[in-house]
Amino acid sequence: MPAVPGDTTKPTESTEAPHYHGHRERLRERFHAAGPDALSDYELLEMVLFAARAQGDVKPLAKTLIKTFGSFAEAIHAPEARLREVKGIGDKTITQLRLIAAAAQRISKGQLRQRTLLSSWDEVIDYCRTSLAFADKEQFCILFLDKRNQLIAEEVQQTGTVDHTPVYPREVIKRALELSATALILVHNHPSGDPSPSQADVQMTKAIIDIAGPLGIAVHDHIIVGRGGHASLKGLKLI
């Protein structure tokens, strides 16, 4: 029907902005004003997704990722194959999540290199969890230390299946000698989430200690990490 001159009635078709209009800016303002601790996991994940999706409402996707994987940390470390099962996830989103995970690991590793590891045990645990706790396969990692207990190198020596990684004690010691390391911290993950050591974990650690000792190489600890926390064989008095 033609408009009547002077008629101020609003059109019947809604022209209101989407409910999420201005949401990104409000979230950014809260982040800057109150800090990251003021944001929930899904809200922090929303801000990560902003870079992958220039427009639109990413809150539903962020909430789906948290519901699917459990937490912010688990979402950014989730295997690519599982991420692609989530509706709305594409290459750009996966790249953005991988970037955040890589940045967290790089920062944590940089902090370790500036410290004497035995006096910075919390940082060691944080780094181990950042690196391995959310991996979908078992990985056996070694931190090689010098005589001041500072980090020389960190290497993944073996990658196995979801519940087993073959470890060869003589290969561990051979690499330590190549790097002139005088001490080691052994680390591996349990993809099940439960960091409790198995009998095989204890036996393998003792085998490495038996070879390393006569060569003047100390094994400070064997740390097992999982989504549920971590376990120290030394702390449990198993070595």
Do 121 and 222 fall into the same domain? yes
What local confidence, expressed as pLDDT, does residue 65 receive?
93
- Condensed to tens digits (0 to 9), the pLDDT of residues 43-61 reads 999 999 998 888 888 999 9
Residues 121 and 198 placed together within one structural domain of the fold: yes
pLDDT, tens digit (0-9, with 9 covering 90-100), for 126-173: 888 888 888 888 899 999 999 988 888 888 887 765 556 678 899 999
H or E stretch covering 78: none
- Residue 187 above 70 pLDDT? yes
Q: Which residue has the higher pLDDT, 5 or 62?
A: 62
Average pLDDT over residues 14-19: 52
pLDDT for the residue numbered 189: 92
Looking at the fold, whether 144 and 218 belong to one and the same domain comes out as yes
Residue 125 within a domain: yes
Residues 134 and 204 in one domain: yes
27 assigned to some structural domain: yes
* Same domain membership, residue 125 and residue 69: no
Q: Do residues 76 and 41 both lie within one domain?
A: yes
Query: Is residue 179 located within the same domain as residue 222?
Result: yes
Whole-angstrom distance, CA of residue 151 vs CA of residue 161: 28
Q: How much of the chain exceeds pLDDT 90, in percent? A: 43
Domain holding 183, by residue range, is 117-232
Three-state DSSP class for residue 218:
strand
CA 127 to chain centre: 9
DSSP letters spanning 121-141 = HHHHHHHHHHHHTT-SS-EEE
Residue-level pLDDT at 207 = 94
pTM of structure: 0.64
- Average pLDDT on 91-120 reads 79
Name the least confident of 112-126, 170-184, 197-211.
112-126
Total structural domains within the chain: 2
pLDDT score for 78: 85
Say what the pLDDT of residue 101 is.
87
Residue with tokens 């470890």: 167
Nearest Cα to 25, choosing from 45, 48, 47, 49? Answer: 47
Closest CA to 150 of 188, 185, 106, 122: 185
- Please give the torsion angle defined by the CA atoms of residues 6, 12, 17 and 18, in that order, rounded to the nearest 10 degrees: 180
- At position 1, the amino acid (one-letter code) is M
